[in-house]
Structure 1
Amino acid sequence: MAEAMRGVFTSLTQIRRTVFRELARIAYEGEDGVYDELDDLPYQIISGDVATYRESVFLERAIVGERIRLAMGLPLQGADRPAKISDGAEQAAKPETYYEPPLINIINFACNACEEESYVVSNLCQGCLAHPCREVCPKGAITFKDKKAYIDQEKCIKCGRCMQVCPYTAIIHRERPCAAACGMHAIGSDEQGRAVIDYDKCVSCGQCLVSCPFGAIADKSQIFQIIQAIRAGDEVIAAVAPSFVGQFGGRGNVDKLREAFKMLGFAGMEEVAIGADLCTVQEAGYFLEEVPEKIPFMGTSCCPAWSVMAKKEFPEHADCISMALTPMVLTARLIREQHPDAKIVFVGPCAAKKLEAQRRSVKSEVDFVLTFEEMAGMMEAKGIEYTKLKGDGATDFEVASADGRGFAVAGGVAQAVVDAIHKDHPDLEVKVEAAQGLENCRKMMKDAAKGKYNGYLLEGMACPGGCVAGAGTIQAVNKTAAQVRAYAKKSPHKLATENMYNKYLDVLERESDGVRDGDAVAESINAQKGDA
């Protein structure tokens, strides 16, 4: 469902993008009365007195109001008490402010209270003589009434056998879209049948929010805080994930992207695929050192939702998930060496990266996280038409390897690590197992825990298709994946081991223990850049 909706510009897309655009516009203008304008914003976005999408224009405005608050990183207010949208906004607008947890939120009065999982008989039932549905049901849940099949939901165990044997495809598997997309089984129902999230299970992958066709689920944003930092005169640098290719149109167009960031007020832009190269080298080293002598298998570390799920549900194998720093963190540390006072913004496809950036060990490196959809709203606020930009003439980053850029697509991380291992150990067999979607990742971990994947490298991706299918992406998944692969081939380097920044990896690793050698590294990196 989530993948099918991606890349289709729907009314929900328009509402989300409009909220981001208008909030960014207000933040950029920064005039007196900005908080009064926030309170008026639902009336600007939903004008008139006739409902367009729901049964009431007042409900539409209330939902938009909640979306505005979430986009500012503020908590939901609900409909049970009078409150202004701008309540708490002044404090939240400070450049150093992070959003208030939780990250993923359900606007309960926007929820359609969809039914939970069930198998039901449609009007296609012909009441056939064979009655195969009744014969295969292990619980006797199917009877016939008025020559039509009937399923007793109290007896049904949802095995799906009846649906499989029906010759008329008359039996439907009905499931709440958000719950179907949630690989953590974290979504249940309240007393009114509305969706609720069990935050003890949720890993903030965001697949529920892009699967809800009613727009009842949204994550919190840091658009307002990022723009406040820009307006305050801070040096704000973007670290852009490899999955940027094609998100705003075009086929890579690094020059256009750099110009777009400049117009938005960013001081610079770096490629997170650099950090992906360093992460690859780290994981290749760990695999050679630890598998199978110290740990039976090793799981990749770059997807935070996958790694959190694996460690949370399989604590006895938590040490089997790689301790390599993620590409986001490694890239941010490289930037921090040269720009110690800068605000660093990770720009990418992932909702879970916002959660990762809240970790104490990461917070000092990554100041903010911005999704591609949020950035699109910012560009609209500034009137930037990406494909019409001339660019600065620099058509490529010319630093990261093809393998590092391939991190964005499912299978790419494992392939990069295998290639790095084979650089010095060409005859070593590296067995790989990969899974996409948290349900499949869990199955992979269960098999690994049973010993099925001893000696293996496991790649886990929370989003089906990889990072190109993250909750913050804009374009169709398959289209973006193809464009990322094509862009990766343009790199002058094939292997992550060829990245010139690998020589600083030891220093960057040590800094995770609180040791910084920033001046020496920055001086060396600047010199290396001058030679490149």
Structure 2
Amino acid sequence: MPGTMRGVYTNLTEIRRKVFSGVARIAYEQGEDSEGDLQRLPYEIVPGEIATYRESVFLERAIVSERIRLAMGLPLQGVDKPQSMTDGIIDASVPETYYQPPLINVIKFACNACKDNVYEVSNACQGCLAHPCREICPKGAITFKDKKAYIDQEKCVHCGLCAKTCPYHAIHHFERPCAVACGMGAIGSDEHGRAEIDYEKCVSCGQCLVNCPFGAIADKSQIFQVIMAINAGDEVIAEVAPAFVGQFGGKGNVDKLREAFKQLGFSGMEEVALGADLCTIQESEDFLEEVPEKIPFMGTSCCPAWSVMAKKEFPKNADCISMALTPMTLTARLIRKQHPNAKIVFVGPCSAKKLEAMRESVRSEVDFVLTFEEMAGMMSAKQIDYTKLAGEGGDFDVASADGRGFAVAGGVATAVANAIHKRYPEREVKVANAEGLEECRKLMKDAVKGKYDGYLLEGMACPGGCVAGAGTLTAVNKTAAAVKRYAKTSPRKNANENSYRMLIPALERDADGKHAADIDEVAETFEAATPASQNQDTE
């Protein structure tokens, strides 16, 4: 089952976080020997002469070196030619540097070349007289050698009937963990049996990287570039996804989080749940206007991995996926109008948001994307203990409870349905949702066949919703509970109670996909109604 390691602090987790912390520390220090510091970092993370997990300490350090390069947004190097770990560091040191695809990468010499979809007989085989495994095999792939069952892999068609029939459960089905976790079927094998990603299929959900027990898959980061922007004196503002609650310890205290960002060098921090309210209103308007008169059903737009999958695999129904801008982009647009020269950093749980931010239409709004895990690395580098920070008190007080609930599976559809019911109490809104890309695909297949005509469909690539994203720090169930508790503290229950609903027309793009001209209203209302912005020191 995918996701069995989630929420468990493993040795692999520790290595990942040491990499982020080390890269962040070196970036903050900006010493004259930064290149040398980076060269020494693998030896700090993997000290000594004796290997702990691999066959040699040299291999362990080589893998860490590749992870360091990815953490700096640099491409993998491999071992087939002489190269320095810091090749390209000058280009990476520029704050405006964007990572280049692919975002999700396989470190080939870290891959265990796991058996993928293979049935093998274990030592538990008793060589029983009935041998039902042999009798039921449709291809005659099972014989007996030394009184034990044996499967001829050349004949086996992986139907699994033998495993289901064996009374001793002696036949094991080997599956590659990363491939099982990939809902797109994007992971296969290269000529050496190592994992290989088909980037035509990959939607950068990141589930493979958190389910590989060998740490062979990692995504690129912009942690280095964000810190370079802070060091350069730029105004850098963070927008924090609703799933932040409880990620850094404690109960998600917003005042502590604001203080943490201040100590990290950020100029301010805003709540992406505000953009979730805007998205809710926009999607509710679209649903009322288009379903079922123009389109048979409507899918939500917030999860980029789900949205890309649906449009890519069901192109004839691409117009059934909402065109509403995501909360990340809507929040960034509001911030940018008030702070036109700021660097805006989305901080959240998601690898796919990095893919979304690479789109030209979004890049003008969001400069960088960091995961919670990468942000924790920055806190570690600055020796910030989140739970011991003394915040100034206060809370985000703009977004609604429904907007904050976007982080949990079912939350987006619930928010849209509530917004519609608030205006039209008699209007029935039928809702269906799916978690995980395989289930999302089934949902779309059924919708295309007419099963969900008139429905609002919510898709979430990560089982559990955004709280289960690849960049999260805490167990899914704990975060989901924390998000729900925090949502209840909002004085606004649904998006209709948020005064920003009037801003939707000003936030829409024109036919060319550019900003609508009339957005002065956005700046005025945002500045007047957002205490969090007023209280930020942006000098």
Q: Partners in 1 of 2:414 and 2:516 — Cα distance?
A: 32
Amino acid at match of 2:442: K
Which residue matches 2:345?
Answer: 345
Which residue matches 1:52?
Answer: 52
Which residue matches 1:398?
Answer: 397
Q: CA deviation at 1:81?
A: 1.2
Q: Partners in 2 of 1:463 and 1:407 — Cα distance?
A: 13
Matches within 5 A, 1:50-199: 50-199=50-199
Contact preservation (8 Å) 2:71, 2:223:
yes
TM-score normalised over the length of structure 1: 0.97
Which residue matches 2:408?
Answer: 409
Amino acid at match of 2:226: I
Contact preservation (8 Å) 2:508, 2:515:
no
Which residue matches 1:516?
Answer: 517
Q: Partners in 1 of 2:221 and 2:407 — Cα distance?
A: 22
Which residue matches 2:275?
Answer: 275
1:282-328 CA distances to partner (integer Å, 9 max, x unpaired)? 11111111111111111111000111011111111111111011010
Q: Partners in 1 of 2:413 and 2:130 — Cα distance?
A: 50
Q: CA deviation at 1:530?
A: 6.9
SS in 2 for 1:356: helix
1:32-59 CA distances to partner (integer Å, 9 max, x unpaired)? 1212221222122222222122111111
CA 1:135–1:316: 2 relative to 1, 3 Å: same
Which residue matches 2:485?
Answer: 486
Query: After alignment, is 38-47 or 470-479 more displaced?
Result: 38-47
Q: Partners in 2 of 1:207 and 1:89 — Cα distance?
A: 28
Query: After alignment, is 502-511 or 149-158 more displaced?
Result: 149-158
Which residue matches 2:464?
Answer: 465
CA 1:530–1:270: 2 relative to 1, 3 Å: closer
Which residue matches 1:213?
Answer: 213
Does the alignment pair 1:388 with 2:354? Answer: no
Query: After alignment, is 517-526 or 49-58 more displaced?
Result: 517-526
Q: Partners in 2 of 1:354 and 1:216 — Cα distance?
A: 20
SS in 2 for 1:138: coil
Which residue matches 1:527?
Answer: 528
Amino acid at match of 2:300: T
Q: Partners in 1 of 2:293 and 2:117 — Cα distance?
A: 44
Q: Partners in 2 of 1:393 and 1:419 — Cα distance?
A: 30
Q: Partners in 1 of 2:485 and 2:255 — Cα distance?
A: 17
Does the alignment pair 1:260 with 2:222? Answer: no
Q: Partners in 1 of 2:446 and 2:519 — Cα distance?
A: 43
Identity of aligned residues (%): 74
Which residue matches 1:373?
Answer: 373
Amino acid at match of 2:201: K
Contact preservation (8 Å) 1:3, 1:476:
no
CA 1:459–1:44: 2 relative to 1, 3 Å: same
Q: Partners in 2 of 1:2 and 1:274 — Cα distance?
A: 32
Q: Partners in 2 of 1:516 and 1:57 — Cα distance?
A: 58
Q: Gaps spanning 5+ residues in structure 2: where? A: 535-539
Which residue matches 2:537?
Answer: none
1:461-508 CA distances to partner (integer Å, 9 max, x unpaired)? 111111111000011111111111111111111111111211111111
Which residue matches 1:311?
Answer: 311
SS in 2 for 1:119: strand
Q: CA deviation at 1:140?
A: 3.3
Query: After alignment, is 507-516 or 28-37 more displaced?
Result: 507-516
Amino acid at match of 1:61: R
SS in 1 for 2:3: helix
CA 1:232–1:530: 2 relative to 1, 3 Å: closer
Q: Partners in 1 of 2:2 and 2:346 — Cα distance?
A: 23
Q: Partners in 1 of 2:391 and 2:134 — Cα distance?
A: 65
SS in 2 for 1:5: coil
CA 1:427–1:138: 2 relative to 1, 3 Å: farther
Q: Partners in 2 of 1:203 and 1:118 — Cα distance?
A: 26
Amino acid at match of 1:321: I
Which residue matches 1:332?
Answer: 332
1:323-359 CA distances to partner (integer Å, 9 max, x unpaired)? 0110100111111111111110000000010010000
SS in 2 for 1:60: helix
Which residue matches 1:228?
Answer: 228
Which residue matches 2:361?
Answer: 361
Q: CA deviation at 1:510?
A: 3.2
Query: After alignment, is 198-207 or 161-170 more displaced?
Result: 161-170
Contact preservation (8 Å) 1:278, 1:501:
yes
Contact preservation (8 Å) 1:74, 1:92:
yes
Contact preservation (8 Å) 2:203, 2:308:
yes
Count of paired positions: 531
Q: Partners in 2 of 1:152 and 1:267 — Cα distance?
A: 63
RMSD (CA atoms):
1.6
Query: After alignment, is 218-227 or 170-179 more displaced?
Result: 170-179
Q: Partners in 2 of 1:239 and 1:529 — Cα distance?
A: 13
Contact preservation (8 Å) 2:507, 2:515:
no
Q: Partners in 1 of 2:57 and 2:167 — Cα distance?
A: 45
TM-score normalised over the length of structure 2: 0.95
Q: Partners in 1 of 2:14 and 2:277 — Cα distance?
A: 36
SS in 1 for 2:112: coil
Query: After alignment, is 165-174 or 114-123 more displaced?
Result: 165-174
Contact preservation (8 Å) 2:272, 2:331:
yes
1:346-388 CA distances to partner (integer Å, 9 max, x unpaired)? 0000001001000011000000000000001100000001111
Contact preservation (8 Å) 2:399, 2:492:
yes
Contact preservation (8 Å) 1:419, 1:495:
yes
Contact preservation (8 Å) 2:260, 2:379:
yes
Q: Partners in 1 of 2:358 and 2:514 — Cα distance?
A: 18
Q: CA deviation at 1:103?
A: 0.2
Q: Partners in 1 of 2:180 and 2:530 — Cα distance?
A: 48
Contact preservation (8 Å) 2:119, 2:172:
yes
Amino acid at match of 1:151: I
Q: Partners in 2 of 1:141 and 1:426 — Cα distance?
A: 62
Amino acid at match of 2:430: K
Q: Partners in 2 of 1:489 and 1:154 — Cα distance?
A: 58
SS in 2 for 1:423: helix
Q: Partners in 1 of 2:45 and 2:126 — Cα distance?
A: 48
Q: CA deviation at 1:518?
A: 4.2
Q: Partners in 2 of 1:351 and 1:320 — Cα distance?
A: 24
